[in-house]
Amino acid sequence: MLSEKIQSKFTMSSKLTETLQLPCGATLKNRLGKSAMSENMGSRGYTSNEKFNRLYTRWAEGGIGLLITGNVMVDRFALGEAHNVVIEQGIQDANLPLWAAAGKKEGTHIWVQLNHPGKQSPKFLSKEPVAPSAIPLKKPLDRLFNTPRALSEEEILDIIARFGYAAKVCKESGFTGVQIHGAHGYLVSQFLSPTHNQREDRWGGSLENRMRFVKEVYLAILREVGDSFPVGIKLNSADFQKGGFTQEDSMEVVKHLSDLGMDLIEISGGTYESPAMMGAAQKESTKTREAYFLTYCEEVRKLVKSPLMLTGGFRSAEGMNAALASGACDVIGIARSLAIHPDFPNQLLSGASDKSQVKPLTTGWKFLDKTFPLEIIWYTDQLHLMGEGKEPNLKKSALGSVWTMVYKLGKNAIKKVR
Ligand SMILES: Cc1cc2nc3c(=O)[nH]c(=O)nc-3n(C[C@H](O)[C@H](O)[C@H](O)COP(=O)(O)O)c2cc1C
For the chain, the domains span: 25-358, 361-418
Whether pLDDT at 243 is above 80: yes
Structure confidence at residue 3 as a pLDDT band (50, 70, 90): very low
Whether 332 contacts 304, CB under 8 Å: no
Helix (H/G/I), strand (E/B), else coil: 24: coil
Whether pLDDT at 142 is above 80: yes
Closest CA to 249 of 305, 169, 195, 325: 195
DSSP state of 263: S
Q: Nearest residue CA, atom 11 of ligand 1?
A: 36
Secondary structure of 185-238 in HEC code, one letter for each residue: CCHHHHHHCCCCCCCCCCCCCCHHHHCHHHHHHHHHHHHHHCCCCCEEEEEECC
Confirm whether pTM is higher than 0.85.
yes
Whether pLDDT at 4 is above 80: no
Whether pLDDT at 79 is above 70: yes
Whether pLDDT at 280 is above 80: no
pLDDT of residue 285: 55
Pocket test for ligand 1, best of 315, 316, 336, 374 (most atoms within 8 A of CB): 336
For 16-141, list the strands marked E by DSSP.
20-21, 27-28, 32-34, 66-68, 72-73, 109-115, 130-131
Whether pLDDT at 308 is above 70: yes
Better pLDDT: 237 or 169: 169
Query: Which atom of ligand 1 lies at the shortest distance from residue 375's CA?
Result: 31
Specify the fold of 25-358. Answer: TIM Barrel (3.20.20)
How far apart are the C-alpha atoms of 328 and 297, rounded to whole Å?
Answer: 6
How far apart are the C-alpha atoms of 292 and 336, rounded to whole Å?
Answer: 14
How far apart are the C-alpha atoms of 112 and 38, rounded to whole Å?
Answer: 11
In this prediction, residues 283-292 reach a mean pLDDT of 69
- Mean pLDDT of the residues in the chain: 91
**H or E element that contains 96:** helix 96-103
In this prediction, residues 311-330 reach a mean pLDDT of 95
How far apart are the C-alpha atoms of 79 and 84, rounded to whole Å?
Answer: 7
- The DSSP result for 147-195, as a single string, is PPEEPPHHHHHHHHHHHHHHHHHHHHHT--EEEEEE-TTSHHHHHH-TT
Whether pLDDT at 284 is above 60: no
Quick count: other Cβ atoms within 10 Å of Cβ 115? 31
Q: Which of 6-15, 222-231, 245-254 has the lowest mean pLDDT?
A: 6-15
Structure confidence at residue 332 as a pLDDT band (50, 70, 90): very high
Å from CA of 366 to ligand 1 middle: 23
Closest CA to 312 of 289, 344, 284: 289
How far apart are the C-alpha atoms of 289 and 294, rounded to whole Å?
Answer: 8
Whether pLDDT at 369 is above 90: no
With b for 16 or more beta-carbon neighbours within 10 A and e for fewer, the 32-41 pattern comes to bbbbbbbbbb
How far apart are the C-alpha atoms of 126 and 78, rounded to whole Å?
Answer: 7
pLDDT of residue 248: 93
How far apart are the C-alpha atoms of 291 and 185, rounded to whole Å?
Answer: 20
Q: Any residues with Cβ below 6 Å from ligand 1, and which?
A: 35-38, 70-71, 113, 181, 183-184, 234, 268, 277-278, 311-314, 334-337, 375-376, 379-380
In this prediction, residues 155-179 reach a mean pLDDT of 98
Closest CA to 312 of 345, 248, 357, 269: 269
Q: Nearest residue CA, atom 4 of ligand 1?
A: 37
In this prediction, residues 338-355 reach a mean pLDDT of 95
- Looking only at Cα atoms, what is the longest distance across the chain? 69
How far apart are the C-alpha atoms of 205 and 211, rounded to whole Å?
Answer: 10
Å from CA of 287 to ligand 1 middle: 18
Pocket test for ligand 1, best of 34, 64, 277, 378 (most atoms within 8 A of CB): 277
In this prediction, residues 110-115 reach a mean pLDDT of 98
In this prediction, residues 73-100 reach a mean pLDDT of 97
Structure confidence at residue 43 as a pLDDT band (50, 70, 90): very high
Structure confidence at residue 6 as a pLDDT band (50, 70, 90): very low
